[in-house]
Amino acid sequence: LYSSSPVTAVGQQEMKFEGTSSVETLINNLPQSFADFGQNASNGATGTATVNLRGLGSARTLVLIDGRRLLPGDISFPVPDLNQIPAALVDHVEVLTGGASAVYGSDAEAGVVNFVMRKDFEGVEVDGQYTVNQAGNDNSDFNNWNKATGFPSAPSGWWGGETDDATLILGVNTPNGKGNVTAYLGFRNSQPVLESKRNFSACSLSARPTNGVFDHLACAGSSNYNRWISLDDYYAGAAYDFFEQGSGAAGSGNFTDYTGAPNQKFNYGPLNYLQRPDTRYTGGFFAHYEVAPQLDLYSQFMFTDDHSVAQIAQGGSFLGTYFTMNCDNPLMTDQERTALCSNNAQGAGCTPIGNTGNCNINPGLAFISVGRRDLEGGFRTTDLRHTAYRMVIGAKGDLGSGWSYDIYAQYGTTVFDQIQRGNWSQQRLQNALNVDPATGQCFVAENGMDPTCVPLDIFNGFGSVTPKMLDYVQATSLITGYTEEQVVSGSLAGDLGSWGLQSPWAKNPVGVALGGEYRAEYLQLDPSHDLIIGDIAGNGGKTLPVPRSGFNVSEGFGEVRVPLVQGMPFVEDLSVNAGYRYSSYDVAGSVTSYKYGAEWQPIDDFRLRASYQRAVRAPNVLELFAPNNEVLFGGQDPCAATGGDPTVIHNCLTAGGIAHAQVPNPDAGILTCPAAQCNNVVGGNISLVPEVSDTRSVGLVLTPTFLSGFTATIDYFSIKVAGYMPANGETGLPSNVILAACYGDAATPASQSIACPLVFRDPGNHSIHTLNGFVQDVATNAGAMRTSGFDFEANYQVDLGDWVGPYGSLSANFVGTKLDKLQFTPIPGYLSYDCAGLFGVTCGTPSPEWRHKLRVTWTSPWDFDFSVNWRHLSSVSLDQNSSQALLAGPQDLVDGNIGSFDYFDLAVNWNVREGVSLHAGVNNVFDKDPPVVDSNTFGISAPPFGNGNTYPGVYDSLGRTIFVGATIKY
């Protein structure tokens, strides 16, 4: 209430009522927070939990523990990992929204989340909770989609996704009462949930057209199932597109035309995790001892070992990668050999490349692309382990005359280990497809190039691949590395009253704080050789090493608070404040941040506040030093899915590199990106400079004396970010925007001159999902972002004895955010797009224009509390249906709108006796199903933040969440 910037506080009681066992859910329930990485991501998961305030990206939210930085938690996305914070040790959370770099340093552009930990604890406390999810799975539309395509439906009356959480806290004071040690041990274990367990995610949904209009959803699947495409001719047309339908027995294989029928598609969705399994161990201590009033020594140690597994559908060989195979391979049937290697099978009148009269340009060899799932070998899994250590040692004390100091050193490191299993090696696959007909052995085994090679039978249907074949073709890949952070900081704070610096109209003197800080961050990433050379099928390209790299920064800062007038009529308090920080980076140069604000309280009933903050975000280690690398992005090639749009077709043809016959019919033209995931090249840039942002806020604080127990705040905020850099999966020019600026309806010669040179099409099939087909998108200080809106918070507590009798008290807490603007300008001086109230391929997860939560709690006189919570999200619309030039795309009516959502939660807390309390609750009491949208045709709900045809970070995807817990203190 007395800050010049808006701050929201969340205490232990709210955490109990929400059943918080992981702080990511607590933060994500706040209206100011947007969905980011969490336990509900699988494909593309990092294994971390991150916070994204204001929708500006997790790299623009600074996370603190007791006012000190939380180190980067992952080598792929070096931002703080909330999994490192034990929920039971959190006393309360302070969320400051808006720029705060002058006070806290780099990254605080969208805001700051400060976790204040429990310290000075005395005794023994055991805290435990059990959580389970339950869903009816009784939505007839969802079930009918599965039945229509023969896919299995989800079980009715499902229970699962259990989480066990336990924490032991020990605290002891020194005999003289001047010191304390509080130690803790924690354990948390969550069970996985497959998408097949929920009926809305039991199949992959695709927007389907009627008369050219996308007006219904249907179960779909990946064509990367058992599909073979001959590439010997100029283009991969329907006559050269086959589906292999053998029975698994030798000699049973035969090709039929690929038509895209349901039985020729692979339902990859239900095999993915909707909730990843997660096992977490935490431990540490907080200690301090006051040697004298001038010297209070303190130290902290925190340890986290978090192990999670991401699972997605079976791997294998993926379309878009090319292989050559000898036409006399003895594992092929005669029918298959004729289809792949006979000129007649290629059709009359085909146009050869490099020769005439023979459409097969590789005599004796078949030039093919194979989409074959490894159903015999099992799922693809990514084993993710983060082990983090954080240590702080410092001293603080009272210097007298109103002055104090605080100096500390901090060290933290996160060690990362990743193991990928279930993928195929492309090189070994190539080796295993070329077999000597005389001996039945691989040619590379006979010539000594690879004596371990085992011929691979993918010619006779599923079941034909033996364990020995899998042992050869499958690859296990590794990534190891670490992040490291070092901080040394010192500050001095006091007032200048003894120097006479005090307004003659104020009761309090001028207060100041100044200090300096040194910080260094390092990162190292070491992938295994198969990842470095891009040998893993379906992995979206190479994973390149990053040798130990880093930066350091030296900073000086100061703050001042000046009470101007106090205790006078209509000026109970009039104060101004200001702050300044100078930062000198060894790589990114120097930058300044500053702030100024004012507060005026004319009477006790209300207070006005306003502030301006210049904040910065310096490039992190990966943004500076990451090598160029091919990765996947969620979206679709507009030239492979034109929807018949004549403008898009024209732009695709005039941009170059695409044959006229390819564009109008995707089935006979350019291959769509598998599972709506295309390739882009990303990488660091040593020339990056810090982003700068400006935050303006104006607010009203109500504390009416005529309504005891009531407080309220209303704040307007506006944040503008200039020269923004890619952060946590963002890109300097988002790949979907590049494609739209090149090929979309609103593309202009000016936008095409910037965007089209960034699209590199495969010279063979002109797709953008192969090693040679991608969108180039390296880090730049590209464009600008802006968000604005209003925050509302109200609290009211009343003693029922004043109203109806001795029945305890009633309290209410309301927090809401009205989002007016969430604007991005990806190309300087070019068009912008506004994602407020939208979702989709470009805007990503839904950004409701209004969100709120209202909790009403009855505290009875019988040691019993009952609480009801109402969570609301307003409706959102699909971005590609927008009239905004950079968002407009094929009209998709079926996904056009997600209606407003209301969730209701119930919770109880019972103090059984002194030192023993029980709590229980149900979130999403009415088992409201999440919205479902396309995940296949356009990739609207593509990973990582989309999963299971919905957005599980925004909407409750696991049905009801039921929890019961106990706290015992001695």
Is the pLDDT reported for residue 702 higher than 90? yes
End-to-end Cα distance, the chain: 35
Give the CATH number, domain containing residue 83: 2.40.170
Spatial strand order of the sheet with 7-11 comes to 7-11, 90-97, 111-117, 61-65, 68-69
Pairing outcome for strands 193-194 and 474-495: unpaired
pLDDT category at 236 given cuts 50, 70, 90 is very low
CA distance 770 to 791: 45
The CA angle 677-681-684, to the nearest 5 degrees, is 130
Is the pLDDT reported for residue 146 higher than 90? no
Q: What is the pTM of this model?
A: 0.90
Two structure tokens written together for 753:
């001159």
105, 12, 16, 94: which is closest to 53 by C-alpha? 94
Pairing outcome for strands 193-194 and 204-210: unpaired
pLDDT category at 347 given cuts 50, 70, 90 is very low
Q: Is 150 or 967 the better-scoring residue by pLDDT?
A: 967
Residue 213 lies inside a defined structural domain of this protein:
no
Q: pLDDT of 369-401, one tens digit each?
A: 899 999 999 899 999 999 999 999 999 999 998
Burial status of residue 911 (CB atoms within 10 A of its CB: 0-12, 13-18, 19 or more): middle
Pairing outcome for strands 111-117 and 61-65: parallel
Q: pLDDT of 851-862, one tens digit each?
A: 999 999 999 999
The total number of structural domains in the chain stands at 1
pLDDT category at 818 given cuts 50, 70, 90 is very high
CA-CA-CA-CA dihedral for 894, 895, 897, 899, to nearest 10: 90
Q: Which domain covers residue 595, as residue numbers?
A: 7-198+272-312+569-619+688-734+777-969
Residue 664 lies inside a defined structural domain of this protein:
no
What's the pLDDT score for residue 908? Answer: 98
CA distance 645 to 880: 13
Phi, psi dihedrals of residue 964, rounded to the nearest 5°: -145, 135
- Tokens 């564009």 identify what position? 663
Residue 21 lies inside a defined structural domain of this protein:
yes
CA distance 312 to 266: 13
Q: Are 583 and 618 in contact (CB under 8 A)?
A: yes
Share of the chain above pLDDT 70, in %: 94
Q: What is the mean pLDDT of residues 634-649?
A: 82
What's the pLDDT score for residue 435? Answer: 98
52, 3, 132, 5: which is closest to 696 by C-alpha? 5
What's the pLDDT score for residue 930? Answer: 96
Residue 30 lies inside a defined structural domain of this protein:
yes
Residue 309: C-alpha distances to residues 82, 274, 455, 529 (Å): 17, 12, 31, 22
Looking at residue 14, the DSSP 8-state letter turns out to be H
Residue 965 lies inside a defined structural domain of this protein:
yes
What's the pLDDT score for residue 825? Answer: 87
Residue 739: C-alpha distances to residues 211, 367, 375, 652, 759 (Å): 25, 29, 34, 10, 8
Residue 403 lies inside a defined structural domain of this protein:
no
In 234-277, at which residue ranges do the beta strands (DSSP E only) sit?
Answer: 241-244, 255-257, 273-275
Residue 655 lies inside a defined structural domain of this protein:
no
429, 417, 451: which is closest to 527 by C-alpha? 417
Residue 466 lies inside a defined structural domain of this protein:
no
Two structure tokens written together for 718:
């506006």
Q: What is the mean pLDDT of residues 82-98?
A: 94
What's the pLDDT score for residue 346? Answer: 44
Mean pLDDT of all residues belonging to the chain: 90
CA distance 767 to 641: 12
Is the pLDDT reported for residue 341 higher than 70? yes
Which residues fall within 8 angstroms of residue 242, CB to CB, at 6 or more apart? Answer: 227, 228, 229, 230, 255, 256, 257, 258, 339, 340
Q: pLDDT of 161-191, one tens digit each?
A: 999 999 999 999 999 999 999 999 999 999 9
The Cβ of residue 817 has, within 10 Å, a number of other Cβ atoms equal to 23
